[in-house]
Amino acid sequence: YLVSLGYSGPEIDGVLKAFPSGVYTSVSELQSLGPVGLQSLVEAVRRDLAAQSQKPRSPVNINLRLPSKNVLKIEALEGDSLYDLVQSHSELGRYFECACKGIAACSTCHVIVDPDYAGKLPEPEESEADMIDLAWGATETSRLGCQIRLTKAIDGITVTIPDQSNNLF
């Protein structure tokens, strides 16, 4: 099905990995995303592939202000997103559900970016902006953590994790 739509091997692999059933994902599951949802997923996969191709990756620091107001300092790598951090730091799973697995189709990784860093991030794409509109406690500097790619330009970024989230996925 994905080949018939013009997608290639690495894109297809990434799309299938986004589903719990992986390579056993049915055509009807893919079609249930609709054309816009599938295109958003493919765009997220392409961004991930581009970020992974950047070698070598330098360390970047991120400060996560927890709902308790404590700050968790994490060293990550350039190109990582908050979704990547949740995958590699199990303690973050209690704060982020990441229901959509990093494709900007939910708001369970919603964070509030410190205003000093918000202007250093690229503007959110339409799919991210739509999900931010549905996020609990959204502010002008709200972003989806899965869409923030860490770079040297935002080394030391502080993001606040809201004490609640909406899961409409």
Check the CA dihedral 10-12-18-21 and report its sign.
negative
**Residue matched to tokens 């303690």:** 91
Average pLDDT over residues 69-89: 91
Its pTM stands at 0.70
* Chain centroid offset of residue 134 CA: 15
pLDDT of 144 above 90: yes
Of 42-46, 72-76, 128-132, minimum mean pLDDT range: 42-46
Report the pLDDT value the prediction gives residue 119, as an integer from 0 to 100.
95
Report the pLDDT value the prediction gives residue 15, as an integer from 0 to 100.
87
Q: What pLDDT digit, counting tens, does each position of 9-66 carry?
A: 888 888 888 887 776 788 888 888 888 888 888 888 888 787 777 667 899 999 999 9
Give the residue with greater pLDDT, 23 vs 68.
68
Report the pLDDT value the prediction gives residue 109, as an integer from 0 to 100.
92
pLDDT of 108 above 80: yes
Give the residue with greater pLDDT, 3 vs 157.
157
Torsion, Cα of 136, 137, 138, 140 (10° steps): 180
Report the pLDDT value the prediction gives residue 86, as an integer from 0 to 100.
87
Half-sphere exposure of 134 (CA within 13 A, CB side): 15
User: Do residues 114 and 158 make contact, with C-beta atoms less than 8 angstroms apart?
Assistant: yes
Q: Of all residues in the chain, what percent carry a pLDDT higher than 70?
A: 95
Instruction: Give the DSSP per-residue string, 11-72.
Output: HHHHHHHTSTTGGG--HHHHHTTHHHHHHHHHHHHHHHHHHHT--S--EEEEEEE-TTS-EE
Q: If 0-12 CB within 10 Å is exposed, 13-18 middle and 19+ buried, where does residue 160 land?
A: buried
Q: What is the mean pLDDT of the chain?
A: 88
Q: If 0-12 CB within 10 Å is exposed, 13-18 middle and 19+ buried, where does residue 126 land?
A: exposed
